[in-house]
A and B are shown apart, each in its own frame.
Chain A
Amino acid sequence: MNAKNLSRLAVYSVLLIAAFFFLVPLYVMLVTSLKDGAQIRAGNLLSLPTSLNVDAWALAWSSACTGVDCRGLKPFFWNSVSMAVPAVLISTTIGAINGYVLSMWKFRGSDLLFGFMLFGVFMPFQVVLLPMSQVLGFLGLSSSITGLVMVHSLAGMAGTTLFFRNYYTAIPRELVNAARMDGAGFWRIFYRIVIPMSTPILMVTLIWQFTNIWNDFLFGVAFSGADSKPITVGLNNMANTTSSVKNYNVDMAAAIIAGLPTMLVYVLAGQYFVKGLTAGAVKG
């Protein structure tokens, strides 16, 4: 065995250990969710389920109890969907337009403005909780899904603007000038020339925003009402509802349900994510 093979072996070993490390929890969750109560109490965490029992999944989805409410995760799941989808679309759209203006239609002070927006990326969100709740109250959007959509759209804007602005900076200015000479205006250049070139960064932003908003707990717990709690808050409450026996299989199934949409988004658009992160320049 020569040195090249040896180093290859080392690389694969490290990769396998890392993969194992990250996959074991998922494996435990999956097998536990398919076991019945008796098998879980038997204690072997890593053993395969004796029978495929999907009762826990059905329970978690539609009839597990949070306090006295026994409708499962379903209402929370749809709350999250109706919060995340518009918030992702709005923050991505605003980010794309901001990035377009800040890179291709610079004006006096536009770089300063971008500097302030960058500040927003690094600001801890705890800082805005109190003022934001006042604003929501003022607008009459407290404890509503619309309010959460607004909060997430605003909170995500700094990041999405940064993504698009940096991506668009690499597009040659001559392209915009050519389109101006051809007779296209601000919006026409945006959706005919710039947007068609944006697929990779669009995918990055969509995944990024969806993951952030779907997984958010802080805003969800702070600004939601009884009927507008997102799934993260619902999951937390369900797992903390104490009854005589702890139904680990239901909790595991619920946790997987809560994480499934983000996993799905990665599987469907993940190839663009890596491409978009690495693609710097746009070649004509």
Chain B
Amino acid sequence: MAAPLHIAGIRKVFGKGDKAVEVLKRINIDVAPGEFLILVGPSGCGKSTLLNIIAGLEEPTEGELRINGKNVIGMAPAQRDIAMVFQSYALYPTMSVADNIGFALEMRKVPKDVRTKRIHEVAAMLQIEHLLDRRPAQLSGGQRQRVAMGRALARDPQLFLFDEPLSNLDAKLRVEMRAEIKRLHLVSGITTVYVTHDQIEAMTLGSRIAVMKDGILQQIGTPDEIYRLPANTYVAGFIGSPTMNFITGTASSTGATSLFSFEGGSLQLPSPVQGKVTLGQRPEHIHLSDDASWRGQVTLVEPTGADTYVVVKTGVGLITVRTPPSTQVKVGDTVGMTVSSHHNNWFDAQSSLRLS
């Protein structure tokens, strides 16, 4: 049963008087039934606090929170009909896997035979049936992760919350479990809020991404919108790897396009405004070209297999360019760079906000 989640004007202040810290500044998010929402941001941005408020583990200072249309402010976590997967998994160490998965059902006085049936269903879904009699200490990291998800799934809640669930796993397992979480969401269709600081997790899992910084929601949108049309330089720099290149300069009209000139070069591009602006250009949208006028010296060549990233030192700092792995450039070479008139992200040089 998928439920909508309505977050309106949520504020959270820790401490009092001079020492008061506002960690959430009026957050508004509406999550549609069945949606997979990612809360992403650097540590200390308030994303975990927001998740705890949704869970009921913390109360907001101000604001409105509705799950399936019902106001849940002041309601105990258990009554909100949500399930949460914690970063440390938080499995009960003295109980077997089966008892861990069935604990919430037991607390809700589900009869034993129904409970046993449900535990086996969930275990089958997660391929952990052979582990049901074990203790958490006898499991590997990936297995514990599965049990933690099983515990959340068993109750068939209205809302799933994930608090950085993959950060304790090694790289290979992380990719595997990421796919598993995506699969389980597709199968169960339960509305999900997922907190992470990993932008790749955010891009791959989310149906929508909410980027947060300093307690403020910077942008919310589909992965494509966030990647293609970032609302400000912060979002633009946070999402995408390697990070977007920023070039600050002056645009002056020359008819249909503008002459965008900056330290050590200039480009003929369709800038939306004149004056001081910042151009954001992703590495895949800058090309090496021998006869280009904007030039710099190669300081680093990073092959990743599928692509090779070339870092060029220019008058405006280091510029990263994505090239095919067949590229012949070497460290120390002087190269020219061109920027196409597509995929330009223009930001106000002062406010860092997107210009469109």
Cβ contact within 8 Å between B103 and A182: yes
Cβ contact within 8 Å between A175 and B104: no
Cβ contact within 8 Å between B107 and A174: no
Given the known interface contacts A178-B84, A178-B86, A184-B107, the answer about A284 and B55 at a Cβ–Cβ threshold of 8 Å is no
Residues of B within 8 A of A179 (CB): 92, 103
Docked Cα-Cα span, A178 to B56, in Å, equals 11
Docked Cα-Cα span, A181 to B137, in Å, equals 22
Cβ contact within 8 Å between A181 and B89: no
| Chain A residue, CB-CB nearest to B136 | A284
| Chain A residue, CB-CB nearest to B161 | A181
Cβ contact within 8 Å between A283 and B93: yes
B141 to chain A, nearest CB (A): 11
Judged by a CB distance under 8 angstroms, whether B83 is at the interface is: yes
Given the known interface contacts A174-B87, A177-B57, A284-B88, the answer about A182 and B93 at a Cβ–Cβ threshold of 8 Å is no
Q: Of the candidates A174, A182, A184, A283, which one forms a contact with B137 in the assembled complex, judged by CB atoms under 8 Å apart?
A: A283
Number of interface residues of B (CB under 8 A): 27
A180 to chain B, nearest CB (A): 5
Q: Of the candidates A177, A180, A181, A197, which one forms a contact with B94 in the assembled complex, judged by CB atoms under 8 Å apart?
A: A197
Chain A residues 164 to 218 lying within 8 A of chain B, measured CB to CB, are: 172, 174-175, 177-184, 188, 192-193, 196-197
Judged by a CB distance under 8 angstroms, whether B292 is at the interface is: no
Cβ contact within 8 Å between B137 and A172: no
Judged by a CB distance under 8 angstroms, whether B75 is at the interface is: no
Judged by a CB distance under 8 angstroms, whether A26 is at the interface is: no
Judged by a CB distance under 8 angstroms, whether B90 is at the interface is: yes
Judged by a CB distance under 8 angstroms, whether A282 is at the interface is: yes
Cβ contact within 8 Å between B78 and A177: no
A sample of 5 more A-B contacts (CB under 8 A), given A182-B151, A196-B94, A284-B89, is A174-B90, A181-B78, A184-B78, A196-B95, A197-B93
Docked Cα-Cα span, A283 to B83, in Å, equals 23
Cβ contact within 8 Å between B55 and A181: yes
Q: Of the candidates B82, B86, B91, B151, which one forms a contact with A177 in the assembled complex, judged by CB atoms under 8 Å apart?
A: B86
Q: List 11 A-B contacts (CB under 8 A).
A: A172-B88, A174-B87, A175-B90, A177-B55, A177-B90, A180-B76, A181-B82, A181-B104, A193-B92, A283-B137, A284-B88
Docked Cα-Cα span, A116 to B262, in Å, equals 66
Cβ contact within 8 Å between B91 and A182: no
Docked Cα-Cα span, A177 to B255, in Å, equals 62
Q: Chain A interface (Cβ within 8 Å of chain B)?
A: 172, 174-175, 177-184, 188, 192-193, 196-197, 282-284
| Chain B residue, CB-CB nearest to A171 | B93
Judged by a CB distance under 8 angstroms, whether B77 is at the interface is: yes
Cβ contact within 8 Å between B136 and A181: no
A105 to chain B, nearest CB (A): 13
Docked Cα-Cα span, A179 to B56, in Å, equals 13
Cβ contact within 8 Å between A284 and B137: yes
| Chain A residue, CB-CB nearest to B109 | A183
Which of A178, A180, A192 is packed against the most chain B CB atoms within 10 Å? A178
3 closest residue pairs by CB, A with B: A183-B107, A196-B94, A182-B104
Judged by a CB distance under 8 angstroms, whether B172 is at the interface is: no
| Chain A residue, CB-CB nearest to B84 | A181
Q: Of the candidates B57, B87, B151, which one forms a contact with A180 in the assembled complex, judged by CB atoms under 8 Å apart?
A: B57
Docked Cα-Cα span, A180 to B92, in Å, equals 12
Docked Cα-Cα span, A174 to B56, in Å, equals 13
Residues of A within 8 A of B342 (CB): none
Residues of A within 8 A of B103 (CB): 179, 182, 184, 192
Judged by a CB distance under 8 angstroms, whether B19 is at the interface is: no
Residues of A within 8 A of B130 (CB): none
Docked Cα-Cα span, A193 to B88, in Å, equals 16
Docked Cα-Cα span, A179 to B151, in Å, equals 11
Residues of A within 8 A of B95 (CB): 196
Docked Cα-Cα span, A196 to B94, in Å, equals 6
Q: Of the candidates B56, B87, B93, B104, which one forms a contact with A282 in the assembled complex, judged by CB atoms under 8 Å apart?
A: B93
Cβ contact within 8 Å between B84 and A183: no
| Chain A residue, CB-CB nearest to B104 | A182
Cβ contact within 8 Å between A181 and B83: yes
Cβ contact within 8 Å between B78 and A182: yes
Docked Cα-Cα span, A177 to B76, in Å, equals 11
| Chain B residue, CB-CB nearest to A188 | B107
Cβ contact within 8 Å between A284 and B57: no
B2 to chain A, nearest CB (A): 19
B331 to chain A, nearest CB (A): 47
| Chain B residue, CB-CB nearest to A182 | B104
Residues of B within 8 A of A284 (CB): 88-91, 93, 136-137, 144
Q: Could you mark each residue 123-146 of chain B with 1 if its beta carbon is under 8 Å from any beta carbon of chain A, else 0?
A: 000000000000011000000100
A276 to chain B, nearest CB (A): 16
Cβ contact within 8 Å between B107 and A182: yes
Docked Cα-Cα span, A183 to B106, in Å, equals 9
Residues of A within 8 A of B84 (CB): 177-178, 181
A115 to chain B, nearest CB (A): 21
Cβ contact within 8 Å between A181 and B77: yes
Which of A181, A196, A282, A283 is packed against the most chain B CB atoms within 10 Å? A181
Which of A175, A197, A282 is packed against the most chain B CB atoms within 10 Å? A175
B110 to chain A, nearest CB (A): 11
Chain B residues 137 to 186 lying within 8 A of chain A, measured CB to CB, are: 137, 144, 151
A195 to chain B, nearest CB (A): 9
| Chain A residue, CB-CB nearest to B89 | A284
Docked Cα-Cα span, A225 to B91, in Å, equals 52
Which of B83, B84, B92 is packed against the most chain A CB atoms within 10 Å? B92
Docked Cα-Cα span, A180 to B89, in Å, equals 14
Residues of B within 8 A of A283 (CB): 93, 137
